[in-house]
Amino acid sequence: MKIEIGDKITLSEEVTDELTAAHWGSGSLPVYATPAMTLLVERAAVKLLEGKLDEGMTTVGTNLNISHVSATPVGCQVTCQCHLTEINRKKLEFQAEIMDNKGRIGIGTHERYIVAADSFLDNAKQKLN
């Protein structure tokens, strides 16, 4: 495993109609949706870990605590700055700040756990029986 506290990444996307609250059903307005913001945070954390875990290992998201503090209209660029703040055995904690061209629109934390991909899927599939 090649991850260290302080590892960071920046991930950006343009707010399109498909990323709005009106489209996602999380509200009625054509502004950047909170579910889209939380997905950006998760994507950033996953991208940060890409190629850094031992073979056969992956991570799963277990907790998101994100405050969405400002609306962003269609056409604006949003950027997530995500950095790893804690490693506690298999638990990874990330801090994220999401900005648009006028400043902060979101802030929070995200938790992921390192798991063995095959056994995790096997356990999930047991729910089908």
Residues noted as catalytic? 34, 42, 68
Sheet arrangement for strand 91-100? 8-14, 77-88, 91-100, 103-116, 57-68
Is residue 112 marked as binding? yes
CA distance 29 to 20: 7
Q: Are 3 and 49 in contact (CB under 8 A)?
A: yes
Is residue 104 marked as binding? no
Closest CA to 57 of 129, 3, 126, 111: 3
| Residue pointed to by tokens 């804690």 | 86
Binding residues: 61, 112
Q: Which residues are annotated as a binding site for CoA?
A: 61
Q: Mark the binding-site residues for substrate, compressed into ranges.
A: 61, 112
